[in-house]
Amino acid sequence: MSGRLSFGAGSCNTIMAFIQGWILDGLFMDKQEIINAIEQIRRIVGQMGLDVSGTTRDRYARSTSLRPTRPLGVAYPTTVEQVQGLARTASQFRLALHPVSRGRNWGYGDATAPTHDQLILDLSRMNRIVEAHERSAYVVIEPGVSQGELYDYLRDRDIPLCLDCTGAGRDASLVGNALERGFGHTPYSDHFRNLCGLQVVLADGRILETGMCRFLGARTGHVYPHGLGPSLDGLFAQSNLGIVTRAGLWLMPRPEAFCTCFVRTTRDEDLASIVDRVARLRLHGVIRSAVHIGNDFRVMAARMRYPWGRAGNRTPLPDELRSRLRHEMAIGRWNMAAGLYGDVRTVRAAKRTLQITLRPLRVMMIDDRKLAFAKGLGHLLGSLSWGRRLNQLIAAMEPTYRLLKGEPVDEPLHGAAWRVRGPDDARPRDPRDIHAGLLWVSPVLPATGEAAREVVNIVTPIYARHQFEPLLSFTFVNDRALVCVCQISFDVRENAESNDAQRCYHEISESLRKSGFFPYRTHSAISGFCEPCAARERDQFADRSSVFQEVAEQIKGALDPAGTISPRQ
Amino acid sequence: MSGRLSFGAGSCNTIMAFIQGWILDGLFMDKQEIINAIEQIRRIVGQMGLDVSGTTRDRYARSTSLRPTRPLGVAYPTTVEQVQGLARTASQFRLALHPVSRGRNWGYGDATAPTHDQLILDLSRMNRIVEAHERSAYVVIEPGVSQGELYDYLRDRDIPLCLDCTGAGRDASLVGNALERGFGHTPYSDHFRNLCGLQVVLADGRILETGMCRFLGARTGHVYPHGLGPSLDGLFAQSNLGIVTRAGLWLMPRPEAFCTCFVRTTRDEDLASIVDRVARLRLHGVIRSAVHIGNDFRVMAARMRYPWGRAGNRTPLPDELRSRLRHEMAIGRWNMAAGLYGDVRTVRAAKRTLQITLRPLRVMMIDDRKLAFAKGLGHLLGSLSWGRRLNQLIAAMEPTYRLLKGEPVDEPLHGAAWRVRGPDDARPRDPRDIHAGLLWVSPVLPATGEAAREVVNIVTPIYARHQFEPLLSFTFVNDRALVCVCQISFDVRENAESNDAQRCYHEISESLRKSGFFPYRTHSAISGFCEPCAARERDQFADRSSVFQEVAEQIKGALDPAGTISPRQ
């Protein structure tokens, strides 16, 4: 039989172990069917395109969250035809397929499927940059293209287009993040709204092209998103209705002038006033970028791990140490960062308006020239206390500066390691490598000072009760709404802390929802939690009525009747 | 039986005639079923809520296009519960329902259904302004709310929010236009993208709430559009999948500073250069408004009818007369209008950048002060030739100025009457009242000068061949795409001209599609055309593959299996 399947000897052993595993899981009627499924998948993706080894299954079962799911194996298609074939095969053999772009969905499920024993469709080898259109300022890319890859591509060819990056690091997928409705820092921060023209493989292997792309010869597929007739693009956001294999993505043309605006506050209560003033500036079009406002912990975490020693191994971080660290690291109680982009004149005008509007807060305006000057000065005066302070300030601001400029950086990702024990020498790009635990509750709130204050007041005591630090940030995701990312950091090896994290997560989610603040995004696998928690989680999403859920299921039933793509149960 | 139905005598006659009509149309098995259907509908909407009189059916059968369809009757629900009831009744009796917000879909089907004998659901009596949220700058409105009504409402209460209007006049629905993906003039010109949170009645009477609105107690229903999970909003644009009965609509806060920018060119070839320069300004965020560029005919038509006398009854308009009219009316070959909105500083900076970028074209910057001054001057010097010219200039610009400022005006609608015969004394708000014929081909094209020139070169000879004037306008519908509205004006009473218009329409559509320019919007009833034309029209929309159409039909099948809402055949 192995001859027929033409496996090498090593691979054959793997396959036999694999078959055992599948049989134990009760997935197939008989051995022959398994052989057939594997054979068919291998025929599609080739020998190297399917990995069912225990090591790989374990590696893909790692997660920054809790109780991750273990997959059946991992397929690595390289073309849309292979994805079509895999979808058809999966439907035929009633296998569950879970597509991931690059599996860097940190804190929201990473590369794990909603349930155990799904076949992961890892699209990271589909990483072609199909087109970069300088004049109309867009690229057409496959889901495997990472932030770092596209950044390097544009830089190496001197194409004057800027990325809008998230803090997920250089290795994270652009398309994957956009489909999960991630957001970045520039005026192009609403990633989903900057997609234009999708190619989607449906569960039965058909290829759907959205918007104008569906018309043969259309010249507007990547410049006009709506198409003619109903728009289907929204169906593929945060959903399991199809596998996106290609997307047009709008990029910002490199601005003539660029300037960042940093504000650090000393008082907690300044948050509300910043939010209200920035909201006005955004609504009036003076600021078009996302605007992030992070608290002290959030900024600290990007630059250090929990100071176990200085805190005498106690958690949460004592107030007195907290303010000492703020001072040492030149961090504000709240830290706002915004970018201004445009021609020299309008950027200059916006700077002035911003300074006046945010008065009496001290606004630091940094551009390339000022940053270079400050760095030179810091280098020169590094031995003096004033110089050291300057260097701290630069260290605090530079990663954000680069993000605002469209450069993917790994620093924000280090924040995931806040509570990780052990030596802080490795700065890996994958938080799973250092056992970083990460849970995010991400409520949307109206962009008003009161609402921001209310969210802080809801979550802070819950964090304290569970002995965590509130790592909070607020982001203007449009002119009218903020997303608050409430981060819970833990060490996945620490059982007690992990359980506390989970309880803290649920309590925060529940309290926020009770106050009307529902999340913009949630964990891909609610089932990743323990059953009572998962049930509570599901209950909390009880709608005003069940119609939305019903309609979503009717559409799922129409497009994927066998439940092939990422079934939830 | 009439007792049981409790109709008045007059109404009874109407009903009997109506029943006859329905029976003749072969719609029902027997008389009793008709009685039952009518009784049930009347029970839902009341005596005054259903009109099946011949007069009304004829009135709703009028259209600015060709061969309009005649409805079965018109129902006027006033609440969402009534709409639910009507949807259920229609499904039960297999009646086709065609919802219209206010039926002002000029040139794209007006209030007519795709086929004959559908029951029009006229939502104009659902015209509540449910909420006006000044701080978060949105309103929640029902589909019957017109541009004029909302404008007056905000003005009377001094709520500092601005509308983004289309040229469809004060009576046109805001929600209806947004659902058809209409566009206006301000930075909020993409009407569909400014909807946030829809209430939709499905064919079976269920109420679907989209985005965050689906969650009980959510405080972000009208500030964050995406919701959690797949987004269903796009399904209800240009579609027959549901009946939108309420919508959140984002409005622009009244800007601190406002200025319009007008450019008139003397040369035809300036179009390409304007498009290229404005595209750069839009991509760099200097201009955020829609930017319209109309040709001479388009501007003329808004102010006069075809000069039959001076043209010696010949068509198309002789070149020499065309340029004479341009001169007399102070109209450019191409006429650009854009608005600048923001705080005083950024508007000032943008003005300067715009002037420099559009050099050597003469840019006129008009604000409230300048306009008032010019009007005073024109009034004073109206007897001199210079003063008359100034008055012409003001007359040409003022309606656009007001539109850019967010005021709904009726002038652009007068352009529909360009080819109407007879005295030009009536300026009705409804082009059907004066037999205005109107067909619009509205291709999307990349926002580049070449593409704009190419479209002009494609359509101009076709217009000439059919003896029509090319009434053209280009609008930046986003930073990367233009919509060119190619208007064909005719008098619906003139048979030969009407037939020519239809042929011209199809030839233009076909040629544009062959060159890759597909429309952003099309006529609600392709069946409104003669059969060979309709068939050709359908063929031209042949997709790259049939998958988009299939998927749309699968979703229709799932949500409206009986085909109750606006069936196409």
pLDDT tens-digit readout, B211-226: 999 999 999 999 999 9
Structure tokens at B51: 């009109």
Which DSSP string do the residues of B518-546 spell out, in sequence order?
-BS---S-GGGS-HHHHHHHHHHT-BSSS
Q: What is the mean pLDDT of residues B468-482?
A: 98
The residues pairing with B302 across neighbouring beta strands, listed in sequence order, are none
Residue A8 has pLDDT above 50, yes or no: no
Interchain proximity A554–B558, CB inside 8 Å: yes
The 10 Å Cβ neighbour count of residue A204 is 14
Tell me B228's DSSP state. S
A510–B contact, CB cutoff 8 A: no
Interchain proximity A224–B480, CB inside 8 Å: yes
Residue of B519, B489, B481, B516 lying closest to B291 (CA atoms): B481
Percent of chain A with pLDDT over 90: 76
A171–B contact, CB cutoff 8 A: no
Comparing A28-42, A335-349, A355-369, the range with the smallest average pLDDT is A28-42
Binned at pLDDT 50, 70 and 90, residue A485 comes out as very high
Residue pair B550/A206 in contact (Cβ under 8 Å)? The answer is yes
Binned at pLDDT 50, 70 and 90, residue B2 comes out as very low
Q: What are phi and psi of A146, to 5 degrees?
A: -95, 165
Residue of B377, B384, B508 lying closest to B442 (CA atoms): B508
Interchain proximity B234–A239, CB inside 8 Å: no
Query: In this predicted model, what pLDDT tens digit does every residue of B89-142 receive, in sequence order?
Result: 999 998 999 999 999 988 888 899 988 999 999 999 999 999 999 999 999 999
Provide the pLDDT for residue A66: 75
Provide the pLDDT for residue A523: 78
Binned at pLDDT 50, 70 and 90, residue B5 comes out as very low
Provide the pLDDT for residue B1: 29
Residue pair B27/B71 in contact (Cβ under 8 Å)? The answer is no
Interchain proximity A548–B223, CB inside 8 Å: no
Cα–Cα distance measured from residue B195 to residue B88, given in angstroms and rounded to the nearest whole number: 27
Cα–Cα distance measured from residue A57 to residue A77, given in angstroms and rounded to the nearest whole number: 17
Residue of A122, A100, A110 lying closest to A62 (CA atoms): A110
Query: In 3-state terms, what secondary structure has residue A227?
Result: coil
Cα–Cα distance measured from residue B70 to residue B48, given in angstroms and rounded to the nearest whole number: 20
Residue pair B184/B478 in contact (Cβ under 8 Å)? The answer is no
Tell me how close the Cα of A194 comes to any Cα of chain B, in angstroms: 11
Interchain proximity B285–A288, CB inside 8 Å: yes
Tell me how close the Cα of B540 comes to any Cα of chain A, in angstroms: 10
Residue B56 has pLDDT above 70, yes or no: yes
* Chain B residues lying within 8 Å of A220, measured CB to CB: 444-446, 481, 516-518
Provide the pLDDT for residue B170: 94
The residues pairing with B334 across neighbouring beta strands, listed in sequence order, are B265, B295
Token look-up 């031995």 returns A383
Tell me B430's DSSP state. -
Query: In 3-state terms, what secondary structure has residue A391?
Result: helix
Interchain proximity A231–B228, CB inside 8 Å: no
> Hey, which residues 346-385 in chain A have their CB within 8 Å of chain B?
346, 348-350, 352-353
B519–A contact, CB cutoff 8 A: yes
Tell me how close the Cα of A228 comes to any Cα of chain B, in angstroms: 5
Cα–Cα distance measured from residue A126 to residue A79, given in angstroms and rounded to the nearest whole number: 6
Query: In this predicted model, what pLDDT tens digit does every residue of A41-82 receive, in sequence order?
Result: 999 999 999 999 999 999 999 998 877 899 999 999 999 999
Provide the pLDDT for residue B495: 94
> Hey, which residues 436-455 in chain A have their CB within 8 Å of chain B?
444-448, 451
Binned at pLDDT 50, 70 and 90, residue A423 comes out as confident
B540–A contact, CB cutoff 8 A: no
Provide the pLDDT for residue B538: 54
Nearest CA in chain B to A512: B218
* Type and span of the H or E element at B153: helix B147-156
Interchain proximity A353–B345, CB inside 8 Å: yes
* Chain B residues lying within 8 Å of A245, measured CB to CB: none
Residue pair B418/B463 in contact (Cβ under 8 Å)? The answer is no
Tell me how close the Cα of A280 comes to any Cα of chain B, in angstroms: 9
Measured CA distances, A334 to A390, A475, A481 (Å):
19, 12, 19
Provide the pLDDT for residue A9: 37
Structure tokens at B243: 């009946």
Structure tokens at B468: 């029509």
Percent of chain B with pLDDT over 90: 76
Percent of chain B with pLDDT over 70: 91
Interchain proximity A208–B478, CB inside 8 Å: no
Token look-up 């999960």 returns A180
Q: What are phi and psi of B30, to 5 degrees?
A: -150, 170
Residue of A361, A354, A352, A356 lying closest to A273 (CA atoms): A361
Binned at pLDDT 50, 70 and 90, residue B488 comes out as very high
Provide the pLDDT for residue B524: 63
Size of interface A-B (CB pairs under 8 A): 287
Query: In 3-state terms, what secondary structure has residue B49?
Result: helix
> Hey, which residues 221-240 in chain B have their CB within 8 Å of chain A?
223-226, 228-239
* Chain B residues lying within 8 Å of A286, measured CB to CB: 342-343, 346
Interchain proximity A208–B341, CB inside 8 Å: no
CA angle A394, A398, A400 (to 5 degrees): 135
Cα–Cα distance measured from residue B250 to residue B224, given in angstroms and rounded to the nearest whole number: 10
The residues, ordered by sequence, that sit 6+ positions from B437 with a Cβ below 8 Å of its Cβ are B64, B65, B66, B419, B488, B489, B490, B491, B492, B497, B498, B501
Query: In 3-state terms, what secondary structure has residue B562?
Result: coil
Nearest CA in chain B to A289: B285
Tell me how close the Cα of A339 comes to any Cα of chain B, in angstroms: 13
The 10 Å Cβ neighbour count of residue B369 is 9
Tell me how close the Cα of A232 comes to any Cα of chain B, in angstroms: 6
Provide the pLDDT for residue B27: 56
Task: For chain A, give the longest Cα–Cα distance.
Answer: 78
A257–B contact, CB cutoff 8 A: no
Residue B283 has pLDDT above 70, yes or no: yes
Q: Helices B449-465 & B495-514, crossing angle to 10 degrees?
A: 150
Nearest CA in chain B to A231: B234
Tell me how close the Cα of B373 comes to any Cα of chain A, in angstroms: 27
Provide the pLDDT for residue A15: 59
The 10 Å Cβ neighbour count of residue B322 is 19
Provide the pLDDT for residue B6: 31
User: Which of the residues A84, A133, A226 would you substitute to probe the B interface, choosing the one with the greatest number of B C-beta atoms within 10 Å?
Assistant: A226
User: Which of the residues A192, A520, A551, A566 would you substitute to probe the B interface, choosing the one with the greatest number of B C-beta atoms within 10 Å?
Assistant: A551
Residue pair B367/B342 in contact (Cβ under 8 Å)? The answer is no
Structure tokens at A306: 């929990």
Binned at pLDDT 50, 70 and 90, residue A528 comes out as very low
User: Which of the residues A131, A179, A181, A219 would you substitute to probe the B interface, choosing the one with the greatest number of B C-beta atoms within 10 Å?
Assistant: A219
- The larger pLDDT score, comparing residue B64 to residue B449, is at B449
Residue of A72, A136, A349 lying closest to B348 (CA atoms): A349
The residues pairing with B491 across neighbouring beta strands, listed in sequence order, are B436
Cα–Cα distance measured from residue A72 to residue A5, given in angstroms and rounded to the nearest whole number: 19
Query: In this predicted model, what pLDDT tens digit does every residue of B389-445 receive, in sequence order?
Result: 899 888 888 999 999 999 999 888 888 999 999 887 767 788 899 999 999 999 999
Cα–Cα distance measured from residue B211 to residue B463, given in angstroms and rounded to the nearest whole number: 44
Measured CA distances, B252 to A207, A280, B192, B249 (Å):
39, 11, 14, 10
| pTM of the full structure | 0.94
Residue A526 has pLDDT above 80, yes or no: no
The residues, ordered by sequence, that sit 6+ positions from B225 with a Cβ below 8 Å of its Cβ are A478, B195, B196, B197, B211, B231, B233
What number of helices (H) and strands (E) belong to chain B?
18, 19
Query: In this predicted model, what pLDDT tens digit does every residue of B162-219 receive, in sequence order?
Result: 999 999 999 999 999 999 999 999 999 999 999 999 999 999 999 999 999 999 999 9
Which DSSP string do the residues of A449-513 spell out, in sequence order?
HHHHHHHHHHHHHHHHHTT---EEEEEESSSSEEEEEEEEEEETT-HHHHHHHHHHHHHHHHHHH
Residue B282 has pLDDT above 60, yes or no: yes
Residue pair A101/A123 in contact (Cβ under 8 Å)? The answer is yes
Percent of chain A with pLDDT over 70: 91
Q: Does residue A187 have a cis peptide bond before it, meaning omega lies within 30 degrees of 0?
A: no
Residue B304 has pLDDT above 50, yes or no: yes
Q: Which letter, b or e, does each residue of B196-222 get, where b requires 16 or more Cβ atoms within 10 Å of its Cβ? A: bbbbbbbbebbbbbbbbbbbeebbbbb
Q: Which of B255, B288, B555 sits opposite A558 (nearest CB)?
A: B555
Structure tokens at B449: 């000068």
Interchain proximity A215–B541, CB inside 8 Å: yes
Interchain proximity B230–A228, CB inside 8 Å: no
Structure tokens at B362: 């003469």
Tell me how close the Cα of A93 comes to any Cα of chain B, in angstroms: 23
* Chain B residues lying within 8 Å of A236, measured CB to CB: 230
Interchain proximity A235–B230, CB inside 8 Å: yes
Nearest CA in chain B to A555: B555
* Chain A residues lying within 8 Å of B209, measured CB to CB: 543-545, 547-548
Provide the pLDDT for residue B32: 79
* Chain B residues lying within 8 Å of A136, measured CB to CB: 446-448, 480
Residue A23 has pLDDT above 80, yes or no: no
Q: What is the mean pLDDT of residues B308-317?
A: 95
A219–B contact, CB cutoff 8 A: yes
Q: What is the mean pLDDT of residues A172-199?
A: 97
Cα–Cα distance measured from residue B517 to residue B474, given in angstroms and rounded to the nearest whole number: 13
Provide the pLDDT for residue A36: 87
Structure tokens at B260: 């319009």
Residue pair A261/B257 in contact (Cβ under 8 Å)? The answer is no
Residue B530 has pLDDT above 70, yes or no: no
Residue pair A453/A472 in contact (Cβ under 8 Å)? The answer is no
Provide the pLDDT for residue A35: 81
Q: What is the mean pLDDT of residues B147-175?
A: 96
Cα–Cα distance measured from residue A167 to residue A523, given in angstroms and rounded to the nearest whole number: 18
Which DSSP string do the residues of A275-339 spell out, in sequence order?
HHHHHHHHHTTS--S--EEEEHHHHHHHH----TTTTTT-SS--HHHHHHHHHHHT--SEEEEEE
A544–B contact, CB cutoff 8 A: yes
Structure tokens at A482: 């903020």
Residue A395 has pLDDT above 70, yes or no: yes
Provide the pLDDT for residue B414: 85
Cα–Cα distance measured from residue B525 to residue B533, given in angstroms and rounded to the nearest whole number: 12
> Hey, which residues 282-341 in chain A have their CB within 8 Å of chain B?
283-286, 288, 341
User: Which of the residues A214, A445, A545 would you substitute to probe the B interface, choosing the one with the greatest number of B C-beta atoms within 10 Å?
Assistant: A214
Interchain proximity B284–A256, CB inside 8 Å: yes
Interchain proximity B235–A239, CB inside 8 Å: no
Tell me how close the Cα of A466 comes to any Cα of chain B, in angstroms: 26
Residue B297 has pLDDT above 90, yes or no: yes
Interchain proximity A235–B233, CB inside 8 Å: no
CA angle B442, B550, A241 (to 5 degrees): 105
A546–B contact, CB cutoff 8 A: no
Nearest CA in chain B to A477: B224
Residue B33 has pLDDT above 90, yes or no: no
Provide the pLDDT for residue B528: 39
* Chain B residues lying within 8 Å of A193, measured CB to CB: 193
Query: In this predicted model, what pLDDT tens digit does every residue of B245-270 receive, in sequence order?
Result: 999 999 999 999 999 999 999 999 99
